[in-house]
Amino acid sequence: MTATAQHLIALSGLSRRQVARAVGCTERALADNEQVRRHQDRITLLTAVIEPLAATAEGRRAVLLASSSGPSLFHQLVAEVPRGQVIQVAIPVRERLGI
């Protein structure tokens, strides 16, 4: 686990899996320096959002996961993660294969 990932986990009070989801990578990627550098902008954003939420990791976790008034902040952050585009082809398979 990289120091950056460990810091975000300790700061947020979230599990490795939850932090990975919020960053937009896998748990394994959190242990890889190259992968963490690739997601540094997202990690910096998450740190800036999470740090002022409460004084303790437990308090931050509670704020992040609170969902009494709609989707939790954690789920809102996960929803903001850029996703790859799904390619939708309107050409039938038989036509694409030339059958």
Q: pLDDT, tens digit, for every residue of 62-84?
A: 999 999 999 999 999 999 987 77
- Give the helix ranges, DSSP H, for the chain: 3-12, 16-23, 33-38, 40-50, 57-65, 73-79, 93-97
pLDDT at residue 67, rounded to an integer: 93
Give the Cα separation of 10 and 65 in Å (integer).
Answer: 15
pLDDT at residue 17, rounded to an integer: 95
pLDDT at residue 85, rounded to an integer: 63
**Number of independent structural domains in the chain:** 1
Give the Cα separation of 6 and 11 in Å (integer).
Answer: 8
Give the range of the structural domain holding residue 60, as residue numbers without chain letter.
3-97
pLDDT at residue 21, rounded to an integer: 94
pLDDT at residue 89, rounded to an integer: 66
Which residues of the chain are modeled with pLDDT < 70?
85-89
